[in-house]
Structure 1
């Protein structure tokens, strides 16, 4: 394990981060609109069940199967990268889809009724009422998908994807436990950092009323010492 060159830690780290971000962005572009539609209309709920069933598919077997079937038809280095990214996208879709659907489905019906009562139409209810209330679960699904992709991209290094997984594979191949352990540590640290970034993003974009921060702030304010009246202030003794 080195810190310079094409196999250095910064290069491998950026590769791993790049694959993760690209995968989650593609998966979110597919799963979020689909989850919003299913949750808002109540139609095709079976899609969520079908997507969740993909979690039971063996990851390594799926990677090899897609690479063997699709790889020969793709030229150059994309023969290894494209199938791996496609499989990672398939694995990232279920948690994002489930989180988006669950968030929309959990919105209080009275909030929808109130929005319709003030004249909002279906699309306005979705974007101005349902989506803001669904953000906590939606972002939790994105966070779950992000962590899963970080871990699974390590396995995809078997197919030449690159990234931090190369340290584990190469280290185990030559019995270099230090290199393998270092790669595993870097993967764990990357997952922790990304989870922290998404948690901060969630804190920024989610309404305080949905997270309970407003209520806690009110309680803290209630415990604050009250200002005392001046000693010479007149006292009202009327009944």
Structure 2
């Protein structure tokens, strides 16, 4: 489909649209990446202490896991509406909502990874004089990395998709182009932005998979686990 005719004909596939709107597409993609990255990084910073709290026993695990699951079940429109009085129409509103959605996956996978650390490793660390903080950072978290990073991958792909909902407050990255294209029946814009969103999710997953394999080389052993290390079950939201 050539030249300007595809724009006039309102075709789904139109190279002219990509050429003439490249700056708009780039800005929307960068906003989408920025919101997703900020949400996952903040989500990790919140999820780690919550997972450590949940690990202290059932009295803490029940409320923590119950709360994060309840947050995940709140519809996105309702979530943004509840947060609107606190943040107004801003990127912070979207990021906060996405952080809350990411917690159910991140907390459960961090907790699963920590619980899979063999007790012998903890005993050896204590025998070498490691305190609780050093034991956590130098022994437990490295061994929990496979489950932790698997959770980050799941949360990232989900966040890439959920970021589009932020278009309702004008901070949805590619979602803004999808929504405006739907309102105006601009087919090329809807398809192009949708394809870019899918490509972002695939690229993010592949990059995180490569990072996971680089940071956890022992998981590539044919047996699927290092000697003495239990394999943590990756937890996905229902």
TM over 0.5: yes
Question: Unpaired segments of 5 or more residues in structure 2?
Answer: 1-16, 225-238
User: Which residue matches 1:113?
Assistant: 123
Equivalenced residue count is 206
**CA separation of 1:80 and 1:6: change in aligned 2, threshold 3 A:** farther
Could you tell me which of 170, 173, 188 is aligned with 1:178? 188
In terms of Rg, which structure is larger?
Answer: 1
| Pairing 1:13-92 to 2, within 5 Å after superposition | 13-39=29-55, 41-42=56-57, 44-46=60-62, 47-67=64-84, 69-71=85-87, 74=88, 79-92=89-102
What is the match of residue 205 of structure 2?
195
Distance 2:27 2:20 in 1: 8
Q: TM-score, normalised by structure 1?
A: 0.77
Do structure 1's residue 135 and structure 2's residue 152 form an aligned pair? Answer: no
Deviation at 1:215, TM superposition (A): 5.7
RMSD of aligned residue pairs (Cα, Å)? 2.3
- Deviations, residues 179-222 of structure 1 (Å, cap 9, x unaligned): 2122111100000000111111111112x22x133768xxxxxx
Give the TM-score, by structure 2 length: 0.77
Shift of 1:33: 3.0
Distance 2:19 2:95 in 1: 26
Regions of 4+ moved over 4 Å: 1-7
* Alignment counterpart, residue 150 of structure 1, candidates 133, 144, 160: 160
Match status 1:9 vs 2:25:
yes
Give the distance between the partners of 2:138 and 2:53, measured in 1 at CA.
15
Q: CA offsets, 1:29-81, max 9 Å, x none?
A: 11123323433x446212123212211111122123322x335xx5xxxx332
Q: Is the contact between residue 3 and residue 10 of structure 1 (CA under 8 Å) also seen in structure 2?
A: no
Greater Cα offset, 190-199 or 46-55: 46-55
How far apart, CA to CA, are the structure 2 residues paired with 1:17 and 1:4?
22
Structure 1's unaligned 5+ residue stretches are 217-239
Tell me how far apart the structure 2 counterparts of residues 139 and 4 of structure 1 sit (CA, whole Å): 39
